[in-house]
A and B are shown apart, each in its own frame.
Chain A
Amino acid sequence: MPKILTAPAMARCIDCNSCMLACARMIYNSFSPHKSAIQIRSRGGAMGRLAANICTACAEPVPCVEACPTEALTVRTGGRGMTYRKAECIGCHKCVEACPVQVIGWDEEETKPVVCVFCGQCVRFCPHDCLALEEVG
């Protein structure tokens, strides 16, 4: 069964950036937290609560897949979210515009999207169990 990333306990988040650094480090070969498919944001100033901008793994029709003119993004087995094949990506940016929750990032250097691959590295490096991989389908 496919797994999707969820953020069920963001009220515990301490804003440590560890998840963003993990995604950048383990998936996007970068030291820079901007190159992370998860982005933690405060809701207006440090005193506000924290939120995780993450892929919601849309059910079919998956908007980013629909927008992709090549086979770079395809619907995952089980029908939730997408599979990303970088080699097929032509860098057209259409997936970024199509994402209904604005969580597909953009790698300016590589001109490729920064998308969730549902690997769970951010979950592994979250010290407060704010994040989870959940089976769906």
Chain B
Amino acid sequence: MLNAEVVRILHVDLTTGNSHVEDRADLFRDYLGGTGVAMRLLDELVRADLDPFDPAQPVIFAIGPLTTIFPVVTKVAATFRSPLTGEYGESHAGGHFASALRYAGYDALVITGAAQRLVYLLIDGDRVEIRPADAMAGMDTIETGRVIRNQVEGAGHRSILRIGPAGERRVRYASVNVDTWRHFGRLGLGAVLGSKKLKALAVLGQKHLPLPTDSRAYKKAYAEVYDKVLHTDAMKKYHELGTPSNILPLNELGALPTYNVRQGYFGEAEEISGESFADHELITKHACAGCQIGCIHIALYRRPFAPGWEFESTMVAYDHELIYAVGSLLGVGNRDGILHLIEEIDRLGMDTISCGTALAWATEAMERGAVRPEQLGGLDLRWGDAERYGRAVAAIARGDTELGQWLGQGEVAAARHYGGQEYVAAAGGQGIAGYWTGYAHVVGHLLGARHSHLDNAGYGIDQKLEPYTDEAIVDRIIADEAERTVQTSIAICLFARGVYDLETVSQALGSIGVQRSADELRAMGQRVYWERVRLREQLGFQARAEDLPGRFFETPTPRGQMDRARVAHLLELYQARRAAAM
């Protein structure tokens, strides 16, 4: 049966090697799944007095009641204490992981403790095994996936998560690769798994989940959502050019962060646009399990290695944020250079945005003399030089140079050490996403639970909101994030947010026997939003205008040059809303 009344949790303790299953009706009643459940479990288990890398710290994964059985409900929400910011960590990923957890029979997975040696975890339905992974030490994410595929059955339905050498070495923005094309990218989950000596996680299962006796309502609801996904414009953008369709419009607005946010316009934007990638490198698209859109755009990265038409070729998935982070932000204006960097960063297991913002800061710091090439193994970073950036990426993952080590802590920590805090492209301790639209983007990043553009889409608020008053900006940031909290608690991909309004979510839940009105869902979103704020604050989060870099108040946005006093006022308004709500 579907676990429609409870959240079934698999607990695994890597220190003892023990595991057990727990059913929690209260979690289902109050949070449904995804973000809400993962946040609440973190609240119960996280240790505010201990370092993010302490073995006692938990890592939590959660899916939702509609996972896989409705279109585009494909995400897993992960929570942890972020080693990058020290506070609340939440990250979402697609691939086959959500589906694999569902058919393994679990709604949530809680991992605590740390192994003595490098291991991987196999979850095959009721069977849980901790297996040695010593042979995979230092192995990149792609090879690790291949080795585990050789050891684990279940082709087509299994999911394999793995970290690269950067995760093993605890680079603070190390990512987790999920089924080759997707990632828990931001805030350093890969480093936390590294601290637990957990190289990989393989999940599969064949749990029998029969439809309800009268399945007409479910089949009808499924087909309605399916037709909305496929046959309306709601998700068109994502399966045509994909997210890189943003590059040119943003550039025209002057909202594409370039050269470490020294400007919002990149002269070579045409070359690195979604249109150019689609015309020249795009060879296929790929989807997460249960999504008919297939937003994953895959490029053929082909380069000669010898005279005589000798080529080597690989496949690289690209997206707007990646093109920004290792393209415009670093002044890299050629597609091959961008694909090279995306591939290197992914192979070594790091978050591409954070890697890009760290390198952008380092390039400017080198220009200004705050750091020197000798501190990075003689590597003299230059805007636009993808080959040197590729070597710098490897240096960060290796951590064998002084500057490489500091960059592995993130640009905020590096700037605190070397100076140059006024030009870090970060808010809330994490590098910003690829928009330079105005106040809502920066404040949304700072206040967002994941310090992500996807928390509240501040970049969209900047582009659409009229009148653009401080009150309206703050109210929209809060309202959008609270509503997205419902969608991420159901664990719907946010690209389908136009399909899954709260009324549709309510009907979909109803069709499998879970009664929640749109109003009840909205109220749940607001409650979870403020509970999460309280948890973040317990873990050390503070929103302060004075922590934002001077750079943010120099480079013009489409909403003009920003003013620190106005940001301070926005944050005051936020604090007033917070006081009223909590």
The reply to whether B2 and A21 form a contact with Cβ atoms under 8 Å apart is no
Partner of A30, one of B71, B181, B208: B208
Residues of A within 8 A of B (CB-CB), count = 28
The reply to whether B211 and A25 form a contact with Cβ atoms under 8 Å apart is yes
Contacts of A44 in B (CB 8 A): 149
Partner of B287, one of A15, A45, A125: A15
Say whether B209 faces chain A, with CB atoms less than 8 Å apart: yes
The reply to whether A31 and B156 form a contact with Cβ atoms under 8 Å apart is no
From B2, which residue of chain A is reached at the shortest CB distance?
Answer: A31
Which interface class (under 10, 10 to 19, 20 to 34, 35 or more) fits B? 35 or more
Most buried by B among A17, A39, A45: A17
A109 to B230, CA, bound (A): 34
Contacts of A33 in B (CB 8 A): 68, 99, 103, 157
Most buried by B among A45, A46, A47, A109: A46
In the complex, which residues 166-200 of chain B have their Cβ closer than 8 Å to any Cβ of chain A?
A: 179-181
The reply to whether A125 and B208 form a contact with Cβ atoms under 8 Å apart is no
The reply to whether A32 and B103 form a contact with Cβ atoms under 8 Å apart is yes
Distance to closest chain B CB from A12 (angstroms) = 8
In the complex, which residues 4-53 of chain A have their Cβ closer than 8 Å to any Cβ of chain B?
A: 14-18, 21, 25-26, 29-35, 39-42, 44-47
Contacts of B230 in A (CB 8 A): 127
Distance to closest chain B CB from A123 (angstroms) = 13
The reply to whether A32 and B206 form a contact with Cβ atoms under 8 Å apart is yes
Say whether B289 faces chain A, with CB atoms less than 8 Å apart: yes
The reply to whether B149 and A45 form a contact with Cβ atoms under 8 Å apart is yes
Distance to closest chain B CB from A87 (angstroms) = 19
Main secondary structure of the interface of B (DSSP, over half): loop
Say whether B145 faces chain A, with CB atoms less than 8 Å apart: yes
The reply to whether B210 and A16 form a contact with Cβ atoms under 8 Å apart is no
Partner of A32, one of B156, B209, B290: B209
Binary contact track B285-327/A, C-beta < 8 Å → 1, others 0: 1111111111010000000000000000001000000000000
The reply to whether B181 and A32 form a contact with Cβ atoms under 8 Å apart is no
Say whether A108 faces chain B, with CB atoms less than 8 Å apart: yes
The reply to whether A16 and B287 form a contact with Cβ atoms under 8 Å apart is yes
Distance to closest chain B CB from A1 (angstroms) = 28
The reply to whether A46 and B292 form a contact with Cβ atoms under 8 Å apart is no
Contacts of B206 in A (CB 8 A): 32, 34, 108
Distance to closest chain B CB from A101 (angstroms) = 16
A40 to B286, CA, bound (A): 13
Partner of A39, one of B156, B179, B292, B293: B156
Distance to closest chain B CB from A30 (angstroms) = 6
- A16-B292, A29-B215, A127-B294 known; A46 and B207 CB under 8 Å? no
The number of inter-chain residue pairs (CB within 8 angstroms) is 90
Distance to closest chain A CB from B124 (angstroms) = 13
From A30, which residue of chain B is reached at the shortest CB distance?
Answer: B210
- A31-B211, A127-B230 known; A21 and B294 CB under 8 Å? no
Most buried by A among B145, B218, B284, B292: B292
The reply to whether A47 and B180 form a contact with Cβ atoms under 8 Å apart is yes
A39 to B206, CA, bound (A): 14
Contacts of A108 in B (CB 8 A): 206, 208
Distance to closest chain B CB from A48 (angstroms) = 10
Say whether B222 faces chain A, with CB atoms less than 8 Å apart: yes
A64 to B121, CA, bound (A): 39
Say whether B226 faces chain A, with CB atoms less than 8 Å apart: yes
The reply to whether B181 and A46 form a contact with Cβ atoms under 8 Å apart is yes
The reply to whether A15 and B286 form a contact with Cβ atoms under 8 Å apart is yes
A98 to B99, CA, bound (A): 31
The reply to whether A30 and B287 form a contact with Cβ atoms under 8 Å apart is no
Contacts of A46 in B (CB 8 A): 145, 179-181, 286
A16 to B145, CA, bound (A): 20
Contacts of A39 in B (CB 8 A): 156
Distance to closest chain B CB from A16 (angstroms) = 4
From B69, which residue of chain A is reached at the shortest CB distance?
Answer: A31
Say whether B146 faces chain A, with CB atoms less than 8 Å apart: yes
Partner of A45, one of B2, B71, B145, B218: B145
Distance to closest chain A CB from B293 (angstroms) = 8
A42 to B146, CA, bound (A): 13
In the complex, which residues 99-116 of chain A have their Cβ closer than 8 Å to any Cβ of chain B?
A: 108-109
A127 to B149, CA, bound (A): 28
Say whether B155 faces chain A, with CB atoms less than 8 Å apart: yes
A39 to B156, CA, bound (A): 8
From B218, which residue of chain A is reached at the shortest CB distance?
Answer: A25
The reply to whether A42 and B155 form a contact with Cβ atoms under 8 Å apart is yes
From A12, which residue of chain B is reached at the shortest CB distance?
Answer: B284
The reply to whether B2 and A40 form a contact with Cβ atoms under 8 Å apart is no
Contacts of B117 in A (CB 8 A): none
The residues of B with any CB-CB pair to A shorter than 8 Å are 2, 68-69, 71, 99, 103, 145-146, 149, 155-157, 179-181, 206-211, 215, 218-219, 222, 226, 230, 284-294, 296, 315
Given contacts A29-B211, A33-B68, 14 further A-B contacts (CB under 8 A): A16-B287, A17-B99, A25-B211, A25-B218, A30-B211, A31-B209, A32-B103, A32-B208, A33-B103, A34-B206, A39-B156, A46-B145, A46-B179, A108-B208
What are 19 sample pairs from A and B whose C-beta atoms fall under 8 A apart? A14-B287, A14-B296, A17-B68, A17-B287, A18-B226, A18-B290, A18-B292, A21-B69, A25-B219, A30-B210, A34-B103, A34-B206, A35-B208, A42-B156, A45-B149, A45-B180, A46-B145, A46-B180, A127-B292
